[in-house]
Every structure is written in C-alpha cells, then in structure tokens.
C-alpha cells in the first residue's frame, strides 16, 4: 500500500486525507445515531464518552510519535499536537489569548455543528463528551495541563462566534 501511495501526486494525497477524515466522521456519526435509535440519547452519549476517553489518548500518542512531540512538552507540545488531529482538515480552529501559562483553543467552524445549523437543527450537545476528549488529549501530552471548558453545546452562546472553546493551563 505504501508503494501505491508514493505513486500518487500531492493533490490526490491531500484529497484522500480529506476523504479519510470525512469517512471517519461519517462513521462516528452513524455509530452514534444507531446507538441513539436503539438505546436513546443518554446511552449514546455515555458510550460515546467512553469511546472518546480511549480514542483521544491513542490519537495523542500517535501524533506525538509522528511529529516528535516529547511527553511532558507543556503547552507548546499541546498546541502543536492540536494542529494534527484528524478533524483539523475539516474544521477551522484558532488559538487565542496566549499567556506564559495558558492559551484558549476555539473550534470556529465545526463540520458537524455547521451542518446541523444549516439544517435548522439544534446543535449537538457534545459538551460532556468534549470535556473528556480534550482533558484526556491534553493530559496525554502533559499530565500537568489542566483543561477548562469555556463554551460548548448545549451552552446558549455556542454557535455564535465559535462552537466550542477550551482553556488549557499549566
């Protein structure tokens, strides 16, 4: 497979990366909807949270290995790692309000939430899952990092200027 990839031009490879991210996101959404249909929203969120608690650690470790991010690399390591998450090719994100000991991370455009907004559906209430996801991702990079949610659906202000916001402090 690697040899086949080496034969492809850059545009094709970049397109495949976007396709891979979209396929992953579609599977995640379809899995969630199937559980929700079978067992209800509360159970779907509970199981989604469990899956993200493990997945986010795996993703962080792979990013660290691929991009030479050392364990306990602080906020700089976390900022670098956040740039390489699978969803970054689909979503728009920003780092703001950086200080020596903290920074804020905003998901300005989220493919899932934007689609729901376009369809005039309520935003997906991802806050409880996000807390586990971002806390564990940051903690995998550096156990000293503390994670605080600033805003995330179903918070009323979510979706106005950004969909979710997080503060990371060390």
Tokens of 57: 């650690």
Q: How many domains does the chain have?
A: 1
β-pairing verdict for 102-109 and 164-169: antiparallel
pLDDT greater than 90 at residue 159: no
Per the CB < 8 A criterion, the answer to whether 63 and 69 are in contact is yes
- Quick one: what percent of the chain has pLDDT higher than 90? 77
Q: How many residues does the chain have?
A: 170
- State the CATH number of the domain containing residue 61: 3.30.1380
What is the mean predicted confidence (pLDDT) over 114-123? 87
Task: Give the pLDDT score at 4.
Answer: 87
Task: Determine the structural domain holding residue 70 and report its residue range.
Answer: 2-169
Answer positive or negative: Cα dihedral of 149, 155, 157, 158. positive
In this predicted model, what pLDDT tens digit does every residue of 57-98 receive, in sequence order? 999 999 999 999 999 999 999 999 999 999 999 999 999 999
Q: 158 pLDDT band (50/70/90 cuts)?
A: confident
- The 3-state DSSP class for residue 106 equals strand
pTM of the model: 0.91
Task: Give the pLDDT score at 63.
Answer: 98
């Amino acid at each position: 497979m690697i040899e086949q990839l080496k034969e492809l031009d850059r545009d094709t490879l970049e397109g495949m990366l976007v396709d891979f991210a979209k396929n992953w996101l579609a599977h995640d959404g379809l899995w969630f909807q199937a559980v929700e249909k079978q067992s209800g929203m509360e159970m779907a969120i509970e199981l989604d949270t469990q899956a993200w608690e493990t997945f986010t650690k795996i993703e962080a470790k792979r990013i660290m290995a691929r991009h030479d991010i050392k364990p306990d690399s602080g906020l700089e390591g976390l900022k670098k790692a956040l740039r390489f998450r699978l969803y970054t090719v689909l979503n728009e994100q920003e780092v703001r309000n950086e200080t020596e000991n903290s920074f804020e991370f905003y998901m300005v455009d989220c493919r899932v939430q934007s689609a729901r907004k376009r369809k005039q559906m309520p935003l997906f209430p991802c806050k409880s899952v996000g807390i586990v996801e971002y806390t564990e991702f940051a903690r995998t990079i550096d156990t000293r990092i503390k994670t605080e949610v600033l805003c995330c659906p179903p918070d009323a202000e979510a979706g106005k200027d950004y969909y979710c916001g997080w503060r990371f402090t060390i």
